[in-house]
Amino acid sequence: MTVLVSHTVSAVLKVKGGHWLSPQRFLKYQDVEIAVTNIVNSASFLSGSMGEPVIHECLEAIEATYSSCPDLKDTLPENTETWSTDGSSYVISGRHAGYVVTMGREIIESGLLPTNTSAQKAEITALTQALELAKGKKVNIYTDLRYAFGVVHAHGAIWKERGLLN
């Protein structure tokens, strides 16, 4: 199958695809060919010429649109606390779930969760609690859940657009 796109989606997938697609899911799309076209209106993908160059920098546009924190840097600002979050769910003599927010070895907050809580939901609860506790503070928060990272970074722009983020 050939998919006509208005920009270099293949480059975007190589650079940013890991935010949205796992390696296993990416492999399911091996039979899809991406063809770049200069046509911008999606209704016109059925006709038109593909030979003209595309005039925009796709990766920059995606970075600007989907970065939930445009001022995000790869170095920690001074006077910030570094927190970590974790959540888990397991079944030993019944189902148990909980979460924790820590700063080094100090527990900032921890809690038990309802017995039907999945491990993924426990991780999201931990991150949500950390974000709530961090209001008004300079905090760097670490999570070990790729899903949580993706939710914050990949879906943040959509949530902001729909008024779900303050």
Q: Does residue 43 share a domain with residue 17? A: yes
Looking at residue 88, what is its pLDDT?
93
Looking at residue 83, what is its pLDDT?
96
Q: What is the pLDDT of residues 27-82, one digit of tens each?
A: 677 777 777 776 655 554 454 455 555 566 666 766 666 665 666 667 777 888 99
Percent of the chain past pLDDT 70, that is, above it, reads: 61
| HEC letters along 27-44 | HCCCCCEEEECCCCCHHH
Q: Does residue 130 share a domain with residue 102? A: yes
Last residue of a domain, one of 15, 33, 66: 66
Looking at residue 99, what is its pLDDT?
96
Q: What is the chain's alpha carbon radius of gyration, rounded to the nearest angstrom?
A: 21
Q: Does residue 92 share a domain with residue 29? A: no
Q: Does residue 49 share a domain with residue 86? A: no
Domain assignment of residue 9, given as a range: 2-66
Last residue of a domain, one of 40, 66, 92: 66
Q: What's the whole-model pTM score?
A: 0.56
As given in the structure block, the two tokens for residue 163 are: 């008024």
Q: What is the pLDDT of residues 80-115, one digit of tens each?
A: 899 999 999 999 888 899 999 999 999 999 999 999
Using a 10 angstrom Cβ sphere, with 0-12 exposed, 13-18 middle and 19 or more buried, the burial of residue 124 is: buried
Looking at residue 53, what is its pLDDT?
58
Last residue of a domain, one of 15, 43, 66: 66
Q: What is the pLDDT of residues 105-152, one digit of tens each?
A: 999 999 999 998 999 899 999 999 999 999 999 898 998 887 777 777
Looking at residue 57, what is its pLDDT?
67
Looking at residue 98, what is its pLDDT?
96
Q: Does residue 23 share a domain with residue 89? A: no
Interatomic CA distance for residues 27 and 75, integer angstroms = 34
Looking at residue 74, what is its pLDDT?
73
Q: Does residue 112 share a domain with residue 87? A: yes
Interatomic CA distance for residues 76 and 142, integer angstroms = 12
Q: Does residue 118 share a domain with residue 55? A: no
- pLDDT at residue 165 tops 70: no
Q: Within a domain: residue 71?
A: no
Q: What is the residue-averaged pLDDT of the chain?
A: 77
Looking at residue 26, what is its pLDDT?
64
Looking at residue 96, what is its pLDDT?
93
CATH code for the domain in which residue 129 is found: 3.30.420.10
Contact assessment for residue 109 and residue 129, using Cβ atoms and an 8 Å cutoff: yes
Which amino acid, one-letter code, is at 113? L
**Measured CA distances, 77 to 25, 82, 147 (Å):** 36, 11, 25
